[in-house]
Structure 1
Amino acid sequence: MAFPCVSIPFLLLLLLITPLSSSLSLSDTVTKDSLYQLCSQPTIFNQFCIIWLTNDPATFTLNFYGLLGLVIQKTQLFGNKNLAMMKGLVRTTTDPTLKIPYGSCVTYYESAIKSMEEAIKFAISKKYELTSQVAGKAFSSINMCEADLAGRNTVPSDVPLRNIQFKRMCNIVRVFSYVLTAKNY
């Protein structure tokens, strides 16, 4: 039997998002159950998402649209902190082989933060597909930073961790925005 050229991951994603799309009321206030449902979307690191968002009391005062705005804002703030850290590392590193990679990471973080600024604008204008795309662009920028730092033993241990956390945040923005795109809001 021949199958049409449709990727299995795409079909799985579609099947996993479809139940969410039909059961989640995006205009209602976020509850623990709805947050767990959102954080269980494919490609989201579930545990990080739940802890990150339940630790912010504002989470449970918002509807899904407000939650998306909060997530974008928190992601941008964390990105700015990482950018400041990278700029500090460029100035203070005693390893001359790290000056260029740290400098590249500064550029990548500047690009990622610009993408988050675009995400805010797109989310406000309800262009959720574009919101998702620019969040993916920010994620990719930090992948490049990680690649530049990979295998270097003198990088402080918190740098890779902070890069991973930022990428997880970008991915949450990307997926939450995609859910809105799938619901045609």
Structure 2
Amino acid sequence: MAPSFCVSFFFSLLLAILWICPTYGRLSVKVSENVLKEICSSHEDPPFCLQALKSDPHTPFVDLVGLTNISIHLVDFSANKTLALIRSLIKTADPELKKHLDDCLKMYDATISGTEDAKTALKAHDYETVNVASDSCMTNVETCTDTTTTSAPPLQQENKNMCYLC
């Protein structure tokens, strides 16, 4: 199967932090509606990106680092939700599907661990490590998506959402 590709708002935020704002002083500027739109404009699904970022009531009051923190928490929440779905699907799955779901379980466990690493790295202003966590998240979700493409429709929607979030 060909690997899928997703451009996440998490990755877009990192680009904004690393390239749009070359100095740390610019990072502390509050995020405006225009900045949100600029960040989400490179996303595969800009309305999804805007809705996700605006879903947190703190968004209007944070800077780019704070917005990245919000996105990490969104990824963590969604990964835990998807992990719970995988665990429920494993109980009723045929042996072949169970094998694929076990692989997905490992991928999502790694994603959740990666979000913890990203939280720690963000606090330390280690944006390279945050970027690595984002890349790993996308790879893990894409791997799960590729192994369960037609066999678990509810999981496919969660994988799609996760792909957008990573």
TM-score (norm 2): 0.80
Q: How does 1:1-80 map to 2 (within 5 A)?
A: 20-21=20-21, 25-41=26-42, 44-80=44-80
5+ unaligned residues in a row in structure 1: which ranges? 1-15, 171-185
> In structure 2, what is the Cα distance between the partners aligned to 1:84 and 1:160?
14
| Cα 1:146/1:117, change in 2 over 3 Å | same
| Cα 1:19/1:82, change in 2 over 3 Å | closer
5+ unaligned residues in a row in structure 2: which ranges? 1-14
Equivalent residue of 1:57, what SS? coil
Equivalent pair of 2:56/2:70 in contact (CA under 8 Å): no
Q: How does 1:170-185 map to 2 (within 5 A)?
A: 170=166
| Cα 1:151/1:53, change in 2 over 3 Å | same
> In structure 2, what is the Cα distance between the partners aligned to 1:53 and 1:73?
11
CA RMSD of aligned residues (A): 2.2
> In structure 2, what is the Cα distance between the partners aligned to 1:84 and 1:50?
26
Equivalent residue of 2:84, what SS? helix
Task: Work out the number of aligned pairs and report it.
Answer: 149
Equivalent pair of 1:142/1:163 in contact (CA under 8 Å): yes
Rg larger for: 1
> In structure 2, what is the Cα distance between the partners aligned to 1:25 and 1:146?
37
Identity over aligned pairs, percent:
24
> In structure 1, what is the Cα distance between the partners aligned to 2:52 and 2:120?
23
Equivalent pair of 1:29/1:64 in contact (CA under 8 Å): yes
The amino acid of 1:84's aligned partner reads: A
Equivalent pair of 2:53/2:70 in contact (CA under 8 Å): no
> In structure 2, what is the Cα distance between the partners aligned to 1:64 and 1:19?
12
Which residue does 1:106 correspond to in 2? 105
Equivalent residue of 1:151, what SS? coil
Q: Which has the higher contact order (CA 8 A, sep 6+)?
A: 2
Equivalent pair of 1:139/1:167 in contact (CA under 8 Å): yes
Q: Deviations over 1:88-109 (max 9, x none)?
A: 111133x332111111110110
> In structure 1, what is the Cα distance between the partners aligned to 2:19 and 2:82?
36
